Amino acid sequence: MSLKIFDLTGKTAMITGSTKGLGKVAAVALAKAGANIAVCGRNRENLEKVSKSIKDLGRDSAGFFLDVTSKQSVQAGVEQILKHFGKVDILVNNAGVNHRVPVLEFTEEAWDSVIDTNLKGYFLVAQAVVPQMIEHGYGKVINISSIFGLTPLPDQLAYSSWYVDEITTLVKVQIP
């Protein structure tokens, strides 16, 4: 069975939160499909490890420090990615955090951490990446969210309150 429909040769994918977990799996899977990968996260040591594993697959890859809660960090990171790769064809918004504590023990700082990372971060990154997708006439944005938005569990107040629908259209552009 041919998998040519999944061929991403010549495409560049940027994955936030790709130094571990689902983000790392997505980065490796997209690399196996042929994409070059911008590994993004806050753990510099893991940025290099994941990037090396992708290079070992024969793809171009580099690690970029990116704190999705900071507009300045996002803009600087995207500028570096564009300088290295020239474009971003695929954005996977994956960075996420969770704090598992009872609601009466949940602090405002914990709330801000979850909402700023899991919700605001997606906005900031898309806002920084999508303009160049429009300019190049191509781009895909994939937002990862949790089933806990539909079926929350105890002690996950902020994490369960954000939910991005299965497919979210951030920008609808008619490209001639």
pLDDT, position 165: 45
Where in the sequence numbering do the catalytic residues fall? 159
Which of the 8 DSSP states describes residue 4? G
- pLDDT tens for residues 4-49? 778 999 999 999 999 999 999 999 999 999 999 999 999 999 999 9
What domains can you pick out in the chain, each with its CATH number?
A: 9-161 (3.40.50.720)
Tokens 């997708």 locate to: 133
pLDDT, position 5: 78
Residue 150's pLDDT band, with cuts at 50, 70 and 90, is low
pLDDT, position 1: 38
Say which amino acid occupies 174: Q
- Rounded (10°) CA dihedral 25, 141, 42, 103: -90
- pLDDT tens for residues 66-94? 999 999 999 999 999 999 999 999 999 99
Whether residue 156 is predicted with pLDDT greater than 80 in this model: the reply is no
**Model pTM?**
0.84
- pLDDT tens for residues 95-149? 988 888 887 888 999 989 988 998 899 999 999 999 999 999 999 999 887 665 5
Report how far apart the first and last C-alpha atoms of the chain are (Å, whole number): 34
